[in-house]
Amino acid sequence: MGKMAAAVSPVAILATEPGEDAFRKLFRFYRQSRPGTADLGGVIDFSAAHGGRSTGPGAQKVVRSQLSVSSVSEQDAHRAGLKPVSKWQAYGLKGYPGFIFIPNPFLPGYQWHWVKQCLKLYSQKPNVCNLDKHMTKEEPRDLWEQSKEFLRYKEVNKRRPRSLLEKLRWVTLGYHYNWDSKKYSADHYTPFPSDLAFLSEQVAAACGFQGFRAEAGILNYYRLDSTLGIHVDRSELDHSRPLLSFSFGQSAIFLLGGLKRDEAPTAMFMHSGDIMVMSGSSRLLNHAVPRVLPNPEGEGLPHCLETPLPAVLPHGAVVEPCSSEDWQVCASYLRTARVNMTVRQVLATGQDFPLEPVEEQKRDVTPDFCHLDDQNSHVKRARLNLDS
């Protein structure tokens, strides 16, 4: 076995470059980290009981979280493709009240549905995406149909241009987020997907948030060279309701910091199927994704995605069948990508949006840039961090 490359510890990084805040230092450190070295030794891995795979100081922060098992029936959990809540593992972090991490609670095969929805259904009109400004009114808007043959034969011709799906960076659902004003509005809304709303309601209830309403969603589509800059999600008008995050595909490093960027963040892995819930005091903390990690076994899928969706689905399931042809396209995409769904409740019960000036209402809601940054892009893009 070859000699392991020397690595610099996050502690040493924090002692350098005094003019830069602690979060930015560690963001840069993990963005440039080398898998297979000690660079990732301090990253918490919740998929091992009590974060047992991490030997760094972060592992000592891990605590068990209690879930509201009786709030979600086994039938409703199954309808959403989830294991019974009694079978879930849930963790928190000392110093981060309201943060809950649930390692992959999905039943075997059921992630297929959510991946397919993100790529085939949620990317379509009337939902809004970063590609809208690059497409004329005459062009068809079915990104799936335009991309599936490219992706299906991707391994045959790796030098071909990227398909439209591979150029997709974000999609908004429900109340569509305005990247310019960093606000939601009543007049820019399309129906929120009922299956994703049901999934979100079950997860929120299991975490103690009965009556959660899924009103807005932001889907991020990451390539291996993508990052998500440091930001705070504060645009929702009701911060007492949680933010739910669902990850699928390749793993990534997530950084959770404090109210200010001079507080050093805690690093953790997000694997396919993992769910994060940010609520309470953790709802308005700085966070970021500095790195998507390539599969150590090459361009393969995480093992949890190798099991197909069952042919017979439970009565009343919100999950739909996934054909082998559709999954072939999804699998080809995910070999070098990950997808993240964040779901939010925008308004408190009985609350309305404040009236906006006419000038504000006329602003364009889909500027020609997005908040995901590709490190190797040859075109310099403005980076937009969510709400920061």
Going by the annotation, the residues of the binding site for Fe cation are 231, 233, 287
Q: How many residues does the chain have?
A: 388
CA distances in angstroms from 172 to 96, 163, 326, 380, 384, listed in the order given: 28, 20, 23, 23, 15
Q: Which residues contact residue 194 at a Cβ distance below 8 angstroms, ignoring those fewer than 6 apart?
A: 318
> What is the rounded distance in angstroms from the CA atom of residue 147 to the CA atom of residue 102?
33
Q: Which of 118, 87, 92 is nearest to 105 (CA)?
A: 87
- Rounded Cα gap, residues 84 and 202, in angstroms: 11
Burial (0-12, 13-18, 19+ Cβ within 10 Å), 316: exposed
Q: Which of 229, 112, 200, 115 is nearest to 165 (CA)?
A: 115
For residue 29, give the amino acid letter: F
Q: Which residue, among 178, 145, 138, has the nearest Cα to 164 in the 3D structure?
A: 145
Binding residues: 231, 233, 287
Nearest to 333 by CA among 97, 168, 98: 168
Task: At 44, give phi and psi (nearest 5°).
Answer: -70, 135
Helix (DSSP H) and strand (DSSP E) numbers for the chain: 9, 14
| Coarse DSSP helix, strand, coil percentages of the chain, rounded to the nearest 5 percent | 25, 20, 55
Q: In 3D, which of 76, 72, 75, 104 has the Cα closest to residue 88? A: 104
Other beta carbons less than 10 A from residue 74's beta carbon? 14
Nearest partner of 278 among 235, 244, 252, 232, judged by Cα? 244
